[in-house]
Structure 1
Amino acid sequence: MLVKLRQIAVPPGQKVLLKDITWSEFEAILQELGEHRAARIAYNNCTLEIVTPLPEHERNKEYISDFVKVLLEELEIEFCSLGSTTFRNKNMLQGVEPDNCFYIQNEALVRSKNRLDLTIDPPPDLALEIDVTSRTHPNIYEALGVPELWRFERGELQINVLQDGKYTEVEYSPNFPNLPLKEVIPQSLKQCQKEGRNKTMKAFRCWVRSAIA
């Protein structure tokens, strides 16, 4: 007797790998899992990974996402944050759910769309992954053509830019040039733990205004 997906429990911080999953099975699994769930998925050439994040992961995701939003707001750049939307490309047999993602340069192209198809729509301009559970799949983001990938791991921020189909780590984000975010964002995360979210966000916003003045 086959085990139904809802019978599989994935403890926080753990993952389950399902191999030899066809694309139609992958889509059926997504439908069964539903949109309102804690687990994140990644699909790479018929292997499906299901991960349930830890509280630390979710907290850092929210804080770093808020920092990105502050940056875009202060730079007066329109953006669309789509959270952990499932991005997939049937032709490439690739699918992933980032911790968060942002349409920036291509925001206007997706502004009015409620469904995205990466065979015709552009990928997000910036994807964010928190590597508390080591679930980032750079190769999937490379295949999907995501121009910029941020990875936060062990207290450090890594900024990766897609060049010739592969990610290269850089010092400055192309979306926020000349801003030392690799230093400031980890420092601000520590400040959140000491002084609280609201006080830190106000201080971060003041820093951005000063830096871009």
Structure 2
Amino acid sequence: MTLQFLPQLKQPLAEEQRFVQIGLSWQQFQTLQAAFEDIPGVRLYYFDGVLELMTIGKTHEIVKSSIGSLLELYFLEKGIDFTPTGSMTMKGDNPGRWLEADESYSIGEEKDYPDIAIEVVVTSGGANKLLGYQHFGIREVWLWEEKQFALYRLKDGNYNQIDCSEFLPELDLELFNRCVQMPNKLEAMRTFQSAIR
């Protein structure tokens, strides 16, 4: 197994980078996953022989944390019971599936897999993660890419893009996205809180 990019990952990276390798066996992936287990700032995705290795940069973490903070503020203000499951690892019963969302939530009671998975994409490219989420039956996937949200709902085994969350139909996505991108996070939370009250 030759992965040319591995030496580069010993240095801290300022921004997100993605590397895709096609044709890895599940056993090769498990070996690689064990090697990266204790290295912070690296996220792995594996689905049917396709590996995506992503280094987590500062912008990615700021956006991910902002989304989580604002969404949890929304749950609090609206009295919505939820379980935050963060970037929990979703591993298929059969070999060949390994997935971690950036943020994820179960609405209402805790479940084996979250209802909403959120992916922050700072650099384009990479694997089609909707296939992975489809395997785990994640009902909604929110992609934040090119500074905007695209929401997908699983219906009849396939994802269809939707205009608003079916779990959170009153969430104003335009306002939410605007607040996610505000540089002053205290101001963002105050603006969002004031608007949703």
Q: TM-score range with shorter-chain normalisation?
A: 0.7 to 0.9
Of 91, 97, 102 in structure 2, the residue corresponding to residue 99 of structure 1 is 102
The alignment's TM-score, normalised by the length of structure 1, stands at 0.79
Partner SS for 1:42: strand
RMSD of aligned residue pairs (Cα, Å) = 2.4
Of 45, 59, 66 in structure 1, the residue corresponding to residue 62 of structure 2 is 59
**Which structure shows the higher helix fraction?**
1
Aligned mates of 2:55, 2:43 — CA distance in 1? 6
The 8 Å contact of residues 81 and 109 in structure 2, kept in 1 or not, is answered as no
Of 127, 131, 134 in structure 2, the residue corresponding to residue 142 of structure 1 is 134
Aligned mates of 2:156, 2:109 — CA distance in 1? 20
Query: Counterparts of 1:112-151 in structure 2 under 5 Å?
Result: 122-134=112-124, 135=126, 137-151=129-143
Aligned mates of 1:146, 1:72 — CA distance in 2? 19
CA gap 1:105/1:25 in 2 versus in 1, 3 angstroms = farther
Matched length: 191
**Which structure shows the higher strand fraction?**
2
Give the partner amino acid of 1:14: Q
- Tell me, which stretches of 5 or more residues in structure 2 are unaligned? none
Q: Are 1:154 and 2:143 matched, yes or no?
A: no
In the other structure, the counterpart of 2:188 is 200
The 8 Å contact of residues 157 and 185 in structure 1, kept in 2 or not, is answered as no
- Tell me, which stretches of 5 or more residues in structure 1 are unaligned? 110-121
Of 20, 43, 46 in structure 1, the residue corresponding to residue 46 of structure 2 is 43
Aligned mates of 1:155, 1:5 — CA distance in 2? 30
Could you list the structure 1 runs, at least 4 aligned residues long, displaced by more than 6 angstroms after superposition: 2-6
The 8 Å contact of residues 101 and 126 in structure 1, kept in 2 or not, is answered as yes
Using the TM superposition, give the Cα deviation of residue 129 of structure 1 relative to its aligned residue in structure 2, in angstroms.
Answer: 0.7
